[in-house]
Amino acid sequence: MKPAATLIRCLLAVSSLWLLSGCLKDHLTKTYSILTPVYKDKKEVLAQLNAPQPLSVEQPGKIYLYNQYIFLNEIDKGVHVIDNSNPSHPVNIAFIAIPGNRDIAVKGHYLYADFNTDLLCIDISNPAHSSLIKIVPNVFPERFWNYGIASVPGKVIVSWERRDTTVMISRADIEGSSWCRECVVLETFSSTSAGKSAPGIGGSMARMAIVGDYLYAVDRHTLTPVSLANPDNPGLLAPVNAGWDIETIYPFEDKLFLGSMGGMFVFDLTDPQKPQNLSMFDHARACDPVVANNQHAFVTLREGTGCGPSKNQLLVLDVTHIEHPWLIKDYEMSNPHGLAIDGNLLFICDGNAGLKIFDASDVRELQQIGRIPLADTYDVIAWNKKLIVVAKNGIWQFDYTDPQHIQLLSSIVKQ
């Protein structure tokens, strides 16, 4: 065959690509879920606070330790009451059904729980037969659900109907895909629980804290004090402007440390009814819980959420002069969430890297002395040489009497 003929055939083949490509269609699809809220009357929901029996842990949320009980939030569903008299054998004794609940705090015989925009005061003298004492309205005014789903007066979202949908997509959709644009997804700009203070112990991811006779709740921009002088009759006080994009609250002595997307705010509680802003420390936009002691504040920053494209870091701040906190050092982390301190020990939930234990006697040179490999860890309470760790599938308890050899005591995990 002559080379010219071969070349012509070749050119014909190539040109046919341009002519025939219009006949072809790529089949590109996206399958996603649409969530539709299911509403119920508030009165009807509140009349059924007590579940007939304890429920298994499915999607654990925030934790609160009070006396021999662990209160564990089941995200958007309610609160597990766990008798932890023997940490090696905790017993799930009751479930308090509170749709939309995210945060909890306890004082005396009363459980305080968010209920959409409201705060509930529940008598838990007998956890298996708890009773609603009072509803404090509008403590969390900024609570909302994304994509146009807002609170409906007199109604509460009790569940979501899920429907999978498949649609054809284009090449542009693939290259620019980001948000689940058609989805309706619950967003969480409010919730509960407290730090290490008088009446009980909460995790660092908490959005409610109890200090003395006051409960403090944070919303995106407000810090709302609630008087618990009469624990069964909580009284809403005037909210204080707290800054912006507030996420967490941690009480230490007469100070409140607020974690926000843009930094850390410190409030003074000399007048507990009117917290005063003492200082602020700016950092890159990120999600950031904070814990503190007399000298230092520890802040974790994480990426991968809507808070901002920040790094995954632990920041150590000097708060000796509380009006002027300054950064001592930052440490790289994997995906840090909640944290806790006990003396010179620092515990950090580092996402899928598990729970990391650091010797923080020299904050300029933190030494990692241990790691507990748990998936998706996000909050921890360290108390009385016992760790309570919340992760994706449940809660775990450990004994850290010897921090070099932490012992597993028990776990309550998703069945």
Partner 1 sequence: MKIIAYFASILILFLLFCKAGRAQDAWHYRSRVAAGLLSGEAGRAFQAQWISGMQQKSNLLALGVGYDAYLYKSMPLFVSLNHYLPAAGPLYFTLKAGPQLILNRKKLYDATTYKLDKAWPAFYWSGGAGYEWKWKDAKGKSLLFEFSYSGKRLKQRLSSSGFCVDPPCQIQTETYLYNTQSWSFLMGMCF
* Residue ranges that bind partner 1, judged by CB under 8 A: 1, 3, 6, 9-10, 13-14, 16-18, 20-21, 24-33, 59-61, 75, 102, 146, 169, 171, 174-180, 183, 185-191, 205, 207, 245, 247-248, 261, 287, 303-307, 309, 337, 378, 390, 392
Using the minimum distance from each CB to partner 1, give the nearer residue, 17 or 238.
17
Secondary structure (DSSP) of 58-82? SSEEEEEEETTEEEEEETTTEEEEE
Q: What is the DSSP string of 196-263?
A: BSSS-EE-TT-SEEEETTEEEEE-SSEEEEEE-SSTTS-EE---EE--SSEEEEEEETTEEEEEESSE
- Tokens (6 digits) for 61: 């949320």
Give least dist CB 46 to partner 1, A.
23
CB of 162 vs partner 1, minimal distance in Å: 11
CB of 311 to partner 1, least distance (A): 12
Closer of 75 and 369 to partner 1 (Cβ): 75
Least distance between partner 1 and beta carbon 171 (Å): 5
Non-local (6+) Cβ contacts of 148 within 8 A are 184
- Is residue 255 within 8 A of residue 268, CB to CB? The reply is yes
Nearer of residues 325 and 336 to partner 1, judged by Cβ:
336
In this structure, how many other beta carbons lie within 10 angstroms of the beta carbon of residue 330?
Answer: 15
Phi, psi of 141 (to 5 degrees): -65, -20
Q: Could you tell me the smallest distance in angstroms from the CB atom of residue 190 to partner 1?
A: 8
Nearer to partner 1, 133 or 180 (CB): 180
Name the minimum Å distance from CB 1 to partner 1.
Answer: 6
Span between the terminal Cα atoms of the chain, in Å: 73
Q: What is the 3-class SS of 386-414, one letter each residue?
A: EEEEEECCEEEEEECCCCCCCEEEEEEEC
Q: Which is nearer to partner 1, 174 or 413 (CB)?
A: 174
Residue 365 CA to residue 359 CA, distance in Å, equals: 9
Closest CA to 162 of 31, 35, 266: 35
Nearer to partner 1, 157 or 366 (CB): 157
The residue among 41 and 182 lying less far from partner 1, judged by its C-beta, is: 182
Q: How far is the CB of 76 from partner 1 (least distance, A)?
A: 8
Separation of alpha carbons 208 and 307, rounded Å: 20
